[in-house]
Amino acid sequence: MPSVTPTTIKKVNAGFLTDATDILATEEPLELRLEYGPAGHRVVKSISVTMRTPGNDFELALGFLYSEGILLHGSDVVAIGYVKKDNENIVLASLRAGLAPAVANLERNFYTTSSCGVCGKASIEAIRTACPIPDTVDSIRVPVSTIYDLPDLLRTSQELFEDTGGLHACALFDTSGILLLSREDVGRHNALDKLTGAALQAGLLPLDHHVLMLSGRASFELVQKAIMAGIKIIAAVGAPSSLAAEMAEEWGITLIGFLRGRKFNIYSGAERILI
Amino acid sequence: MPSVTPTTIKKVNAGFLTDATDILATEEPLELRLEYGPAGHRVVKSISVTMRTPGNDFELALGFLYSEGILLHGSDVVAIGYVKKDNENIVLASLRAGLAPAVANLERNFYTTSSCGVCGKASIEAIRTACPIPDTVDSIRVPVSTIYDLPDLLRTSQELFEDTGGLHACALFDTSGILLLSREDVGRHNALDKLTGAALQAGLLPLDHHVLMLSGRASFELVQKAIMAGIKIIAAVGAPSSLAAEMAEEWGITLIGFLRGRKFNIYSGAERILI
């Protein structure tokens, strides 16, 4: 399915009306089904539906499963594909037979098909106690000049945004500011899941020597997903929410907001930025 | 609970670091529980969790229930309040005894705690057949000069955004461009639910003589919620998605995007704009 959809529109400009063509970001539902259980007793369960931009669908599924704590390694998924050849809106991921995902986690996923994420404070606690937060190092440092450059590098990588003006993006950089990966989606949580899934497939996880750049605001859910991927430094063009800042502080994450030009705010973990 | 949260930060500007105070948009979970069933056999079910900005919580709950087709009238809810005095993150809404919400609808709600909405194409069909779309008139017309003015009027109404830079907003206008209601939230779907809930409480529904203005992009879910509220004209500062445009076209809604200065795009229903 194409990631963009052309459409005919009418343009209004200072009182004049003209016919034109516009390119829209495609938005389509993606249902994720999970097959799991011991050999001979496999079950299939629908665990989430999200409105996403088609493209990198398997990365999206893998990244979602990883940030939910259902996967620890790429090899935990033995097969992934579309359920039907002619329908790219349903993905089936098969877990290896030895892996028994907690049913409670799966239930919780019904809440997390969203940009709104799981249940706030309760979830911060849940992450601490139940989820396999990766063992990560905490010694990375990044020069302030590298941070200044990130928004322009992110924008340059946003191919679809150029056409549509309607997509969120996120990108992964190393500490010298080299762009490693970037992904786009109508849903910012999907963009990050795609990035995490791609990193998982590339064997890059945990991402504890990297900087995550977000094209928009930093919500609780995005910080949560970043933590699950091992990220230590998050930089956003927009504002963080209260809960995003609180969670970053609690987990020792460096959280940067309002990154524009040579200005930004540091909400926590300022020691990692060399000024 | 306050809608904004002050926090101490470090500001970086061209290589200089200073301590400062910043105001964040509060993000907290809101769980919605529904009490329903015949007298003597009432049941309570948790139907959604959303990450929202505290404030107008009962409007949010009512607007969500309305746009899900669970309510038809404000009087369908006989009581609404916080479950505990010291916890404003759980709201209980009691339906009148005669009202039996479809369990299937309630199940579906697990998907719709999100900005991603329900399951795309299937849901367009579901809305047509199962939901009580309001009987609305289709004769409204709006002068192009009124449309030009909407973004500035919306921005003026965004009290919290001024402080935080981190909130979505939506506003309701009459056809002469008079601002009737506006609401803000970290989640754009929540902002619209709050607006719909406020309109429901004010006896304004269906909103078929009004214009809905959105501060950001127009997603499928926002168009869906607008249709449920009877809206005929939607104007957004940002881009629509493919599915948003498709749904607006199918339902005969006027959808405007990229509304900035004296320019905008009309994706469907151009006949309602007088140029």
Q: Give the model confidence (pLDDT) of B227-246 as tens digits.
A: 989 999 999 999 999 999 99
In chain B, which residues have their Cβ closer than 8 Å to the Cβ of A258?
A: 165
Do A98 and A211 have their domain in common?
no
pLDDT at B20 over 60: yes
Give the closest-approach CA distance of A198 to chain B in angstroms: 22
Per the domain annotation, does A21 fall within a domain? Answer: no
Closest to A51 (Cβ–Cβ): which among B28, B120, B165?
B120
Q: Which ipTM score applies to this complex?
A: 0.86
The whole-angstrom separation of Cα A183 and Cα A192 is: 7
End residue of a domain, out of B96, B127, B158: B127
Which of the pair, A168 or A49, is modelled with greater confidence?
A: A168
Per residue in A177-221, pLDDT (tens digit) is: 999 999 999 999 999 999 999 999 999 999 999 999 999 999 988
B110 pLDDT band, cuts 50/70/90, is: very low
Q: Is B264 close to A12, i.e. CB distance below 8 A?
A: yes
Residue A131 appears among annotated catalytic residues? no
End residue of a domain, out of A127, A151, A169: A127
Do A113 and A157 have their domain in common?
no
**Residues of B with catalytic annotation?**
116
Comparing A115-119, B43-47, B63-67, B188-192, which segment has the lowest mean pLDDT? Answer: A115-119
Q: Is B27 close to A219, i.e. CB distance below 8 A?
A: yes
Closest to A275 (Cβ–Cβ): which among B12, B264, B266?
B12
Do B269 and B146 have their domain in common?
yes
Q: Is B116 close to A50, i.e. CB distance below 8 A?
A: yes
Strands A273-274 and A263-268: unpaired
Sign of CA dihedral B108, B111, B117, B123: negative
Per the domain annotation, does B243 fall within a domain? Answer: yes
Per the domain annotation, does A217 fall within a domain? Answer: yes
pLDDT at B120 over 50: no
Q: Which residue of B has its CA nearest to A264?
A: B12
Do A246 and A170 have their domain in common?
yes
Q: What is the CATH number of the domain that holds A33?
A: 3.10.20.10
Per the domain annotation, does B100 fall within a domain? Answer: yes
Per the domain annotation, does B10 fall within a domain? Answer: no
Give the closest-approach CA distance of B120 to chain A in angstroms: 5
- Secondary structure, 3-state, B28-44: EEEEEEEEECCCCCCEE
Neighbouring-strand partners of residue A51: A29
Do B109 and B152 have their domain in common?
no
Domain that holds residue A111: 28-127
* The pLDDT value given to residue A119: 39
Q: Is B49 close to A118, i.e. CB distance below 8 A?
A: yes
Do A118 and A170 have their domain in common?
no
Q: How far does chain A reach from its first CA to its final CA, in angstroms? A: 45
The whole-angstrom separation of Cα A54 and Cα A61 is: 12
Share of chain B above pLDDT 90, in %: 61
Q: Is B50 close to A116, i.e. CB distance below 8 A?
A: yes
Do A78 and A200 have their domain in common?
no
Q: What is the CATH number of the domain that holds A226?
A: 3.40.140.10
Per the domain annotation, does B86 fall within a domain? Answer: yes
In chain A, which residues have their Cβ closer than 8 Å to the Cβ of B88?
A: none
Do B147 and B264 have their domain in common?
yes
For residue B230, give Cα distances in angstroms to B65, B203, B217, B225, B272: 15, 13, 20, 9, 15
Do A92 and A51 have their domain in common?
yes
End residue of a domain, out of A100, A127, A154: A127
Per the domain annotation, does A133 fall within a domain? Answer: no
Per residue in A82-105, pLDDT (tens digit) is: 998 888 889 999 999 988 776 555
Do A248 and A183 have their domain in common?
yes
Do B181 and B260 have their domain in common?
yes
Per the domain annotation, does B173 fall within a domain? Answer: yes
Closest to B5 (Cβ–Cβ): which among A242, A263, A273?
A242
DSSP A208-243: TTEEEEESS-B-HHHHHHHHHTT--EEEESSPBBHH
Q: How many domains does chain B have?
A: 2
A115, A142, A158: best to mutate for the B interface, most B CBs within 10 A = A115
Do A149 and A269 have their domain in common?
yes
